[in-house]
């Protein structure tokens, strides 16, 4: 028997609002025909404690001089992500040619890498990024209140280190669970240029003045961050912000996130308006090449225990990049 929905009366207003909200939330996914978008498989891997300082230090990473000269990681490491991740995640004490102990606290069940299918697309109003991956068997005993989270950080090229290593330059040796972390000092992701003094032990709390940081923001020297926090059976929680001197998260997100488990795979779409504007948002326009890195916190992990990608690039409509977001 059909249930008759009353469209008059006080409850009708609430129903209308609920319907509109559901429509608004579901609109972004419905807007893009993902089957027609060419995706690329990106392998994310466990980076352990291979921080930016380590990458730039020859005794930890023998090609540090090449990195300092601007060689992109993938020129040497393309196709090696799963091997690197497996070695690091296993707690191998002699990782790499420099024989570094990159992971002193391996998470049980972590295979070390996660293949992710990534697609970019846009319409008149928004940029959409679709990520699909199978979670690993690992289940960490950390305090995260989400089962899984996926994030991306990107620059319009102003942060030149992103052309070399994606978001790696925000990862530092004095952050929590890293070798030079100081007791009682909880640093979040930051860029070296936000500090007055940096060394192989990181940039610590040597912050530049507010004026100098604002000047960096004004010339787009920051990483924009989009993130979806996921729990099975619940709507994805969108989080966004930027990284310069630390991770600044917006009280109410400009990014929207949809995520669901489909046949054992997480499928997540992150999107935001192209002309969002405001602090911490990069203008998304055709003709510009953006540098991006992806990360997944899999199996209740937190902090540095994510799987990460090397640096990739994207453009809108056309141009030379790993991902070209075509207009639909």
Partner 1 sequence: MPGPIKRLFKPSVKHSILAIGGLGFFLGVIFWGGFNWALEMTNNEAFCTGCHEMRDNVYQELKKTIHYSNRTGVRASCHDCHVPRPWIYKIIRKIEASNELYHHLMGTVDTKEKFEAHRRELAKHVWKVMKETDSRECRNCHNINRMNPEKQTPRARKRHQEAREQGLTCIDCHKGIAHRNVWKEMQEEKEAEEPLEGLDL
Q: What is the nearest approach in angstroms of partner 1 to the Cβ of residue 216?
A: 14
- Taking each continuous run of H as one helix and of E as one strand, the counts in the chain are 7, 13
Return d(Cα 302, Cα 143) in angstroms, integer.
7
Return d(Cα 294, Cα 276) in angstroms, integer.
21
Q: What is the nearest approach in angstroms of partner 1 to the Cβ of residue 152?
A: 20
Q: Is 254 in the site for partner 1 (CB under 8 A)?
A: no
Q: What is the nearest approach in angstroms of partner 1 to the Cβ of residue 248?
A: 22
Name 252's Cβ contacts closer than 8 Å, sequence gap at least 6: none
Q: Is 80 in the site for partner 1 (CB under 8 A)?
A: yes
DSSP alpha helix (H) spans, 155-234: 161-165, 210-218
DSSP 130: E
Q: What is the nearest approach in angstroms of partner 1 to the Cβ of residue 303?
A: 23
Q: Is 64 in the site for partner 1 (CB under 8 A)?
A: yes
Q: Is 62 in the site for partner 1 (CB under 8 A)?
A: yes
Closest CB to partner 1 among residues 64, 254 = 64
Residue for token digits 């004095």? 174
Q: Is 200 in the site for partner 1 (CB under 8 A)?
A: yes
The upper half-sphere exposure of residue 308, i.e. CA atoms within 13 Å in the direction of its Cβ, equals: 25
Which range of residues in 19-27, 28-36, 51-59, 234-242 is near partner 1 by CB under 8 A? 51-59
Q: What is the nearest approach in angstroms of partner 1 to the Cβ of residue 129?
A: 25
Kindly give the pairing relationship between strand 223-230 and strand 148-155.
antiparallel
Q: Is 41 in the site for partner 1 (CB under 8 A)?
A: no
Q: Is 50 in the site for partner 1 (CB under 8 A)?
A: no
Return d(Cα 199, Cα 236) in angstroms, integer.
39
Q: Is 160 in the site for partner 1 (CB under 8 A)?
A: yes
Cα–Cα distance list, 25 to 15, 110, 123, 130, 169 (Å): 15, 33, 16, 15, 34
DSSP alpha helix (H) spans, 140-243: 161-165, 210-218
Q: Is 197 in the site for partner 1 (CB under 8 A)?
A: no
Q: Is 53 in the site for partner 1 (CB under 8 A)?
A: yes
Q: Is 206 in the site for partner 1 (CB under 8 A)?
A: no
Q: Which of 118, 152, 161, 257 binds partner 1 (CB under 8 A)?
A: 161
Q: Which of 57, 117, 289, 328 binds partner 1 (CB under 8 A)?
A: 57
Summarize as ranges the residues that interact with partner 1 (CB under 8 A): 53, 56-59, 62-68, 70-71, 75-80, 98-99, 160-161, 164, 169, 192, 198-200
């Amino acid at each position: 028997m059909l249930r008759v929905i009353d469209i008059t009366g006080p409850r009708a207003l609430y129903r209308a609002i609920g319907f509109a909200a559901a429509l608004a939330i579901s609109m972004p996914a419905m807007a893009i025909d993902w089957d027609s978008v060419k995706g690329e498989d990106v392998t994310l891997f466990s980076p352990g404690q291979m921080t930016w300082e380590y990458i730039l230090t020859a005794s930890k990473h023998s090609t540090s001089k090449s990195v300092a000269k601007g060689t992109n990681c993938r020129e040497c490491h393309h196709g090696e992500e799963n091997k690197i991740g497996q070695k690091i995640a296993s707690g191998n004490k002699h990782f790499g040619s420099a024989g570094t102990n990159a992971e002193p606290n391996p998470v049980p069940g972590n295979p070390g890498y996660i293949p992710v299918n990534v697609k970019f697309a846009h319409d008149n109003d928004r940029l959409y990024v679709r990520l699909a991956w199978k979670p690993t068997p690992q289940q960490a005993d950390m305090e995260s209140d989400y089962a899984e989270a996926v994030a991306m950080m990107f620059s319009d090229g102003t942060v030149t280190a992103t052309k070399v290593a994606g978001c790696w330059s925000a990862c530092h040796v004095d952050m929590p669970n890293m070798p030079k972390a100081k007791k009682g000092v909880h640093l979040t992701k930051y860029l070296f240029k936000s500090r007055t003094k940096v060394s192989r032990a990181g940039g610590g709390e040597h912050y530049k003045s507010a004026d100098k940081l604002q000047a960096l923001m004004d010339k787009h020297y920051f990483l924009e961050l989009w993130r979806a926090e996921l729990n099975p059976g619940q709507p994805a929680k969108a989080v966004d912000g930027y990284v310069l001197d630390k991770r600044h998260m917006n009280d109410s997100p400009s990014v929207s996130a949809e995520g669901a488990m489909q046949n054992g795979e997480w499928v997540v779409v992150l999107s935001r308006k192209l002309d969002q504007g405001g602090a911490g948002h990069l203008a998304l326009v055709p003709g510009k090449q953006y540098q991006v890195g992806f990360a997944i916190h899999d199996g209740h992990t937190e902090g540095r225990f994510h799987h990460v990608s090397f640096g990739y690039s994207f453009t809108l409509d056309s141009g030379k990049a790993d991902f070209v977001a075509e207009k639909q």
